[in-house]
Structure 1
């Protein structure tokens, strides 16, 4: 019996729950920049932030209140979304969960069109992208970037904390739990495929 060398693949995950409103887009971008700076993957931050912006914009359109900032009592479980960055080895995943089962559609755009390029940008910037339907419900739209380098966060015991205004935080409860379960299911399914 001979021993075979196996490659160790590291796993880094950072997640944030948001209310699906227009102001979630800049919060999501800042989350990407802060997380990738902490992981020392700054070279991929611009592309990842642009992809996250497009995916969050689609989630806001699908489940949120895109036209205005809602009053706190107008926010329902339908308006909770979750974003996640995950690095497995040298692959960076940008993931957005929302409760809608409707798939985002790549639109045919003309040179004069002012919008509709989001998924085209995601496709151009990513190595691969797709839609995952977790058992917990809703959908996760994801995109993957091959980084060719491993994350290297400082192991000094500090934690990364992104401050989110209180009026943008979703309430704790079953929908926030559903989002967390859905995203973790995608992580577990990915890990199982590695075995």
Structure 2
């Protein structure tokens, strides 16, 4: 079945855009978070890079280090003014993330260093127990002048 996909609006002013969903704390859930976030950014007319990498790292951390069996993690993205905020909430508030150098031969352990390098700001908010939210913010440019990706 062919579907026509309309082009995202070229200019959106004065809007607060948000997107949120709960996902299973599995590698598949983390992968789905990145894919759905990328599609939502495209629909908003915003560049996907580096936001897709940040979502991928935060979601992967949630399912790797913040996983509690039977409890989902939550992805929330919203744009206010010229700032995109990405939030990933998991149910392991007792384990707070911090960037650290991984061993040179390690296959993982560099995710928060990547988030720190790509995001304008990032942090952790404890909250209500047993949760925590790891967030990152990116500047999207002046409000009302959203970059638009060329048609693919």
Normalising by structure 1, what TM-score?
A: 0.62
Alignment counterpart, residue 62 of structure 1, candidates 65, 81, 87: 65
Following TM superposition, where does structure 1 have runs of at least 4 consecutive aligned residues deviating by more than 6 angstroms?
Answer: none
Alignment correspondent of 1:16: 21
Any conservation in 1 of the 2:24–2:72 contact (CA below 8 Å)?
Answer: yes
Q: Residue 93 in 1 paired to residue 85 in 2?
A: yes
**CA RMSD of superposed structures (Å):** 2.1
Q: Larger % of strand: which?
A: 2
Consecutive unaligned residues of structure 2, counting only runs of 5 or more, are: 1-12, 147-152
Q: Flag the 1:94–1:138 CA change in 2: closer, same or farther, 3 A.
A: same
Q: Flag the 1:35–1:111 CA change in 2: closer, same or farther, 3 A.
A: same
Normalising by structure 2, what TM-score?
A: 0.78
- d(CA) in 2 for partners of 1:149 and 1:31? 25
Consecutive unaligned residues of structure 1, counting only runs of 5 or more, are: 1-7, 66-74, 153-195
- d(CA) in 2 for partners of 1:113 and 1:137? 30
Residue deviations 1:45-91, cap 9 Å, x none? 121111111111111123337xxxxxxxxx52xx2110011111100
Q: Larger % of helix: which?
A: 1
Pick the structure with greater CA Rg.
1
Any conservation in 1 of the 2:67–2:91 contact (CA below 8 Å)?
Answer: no
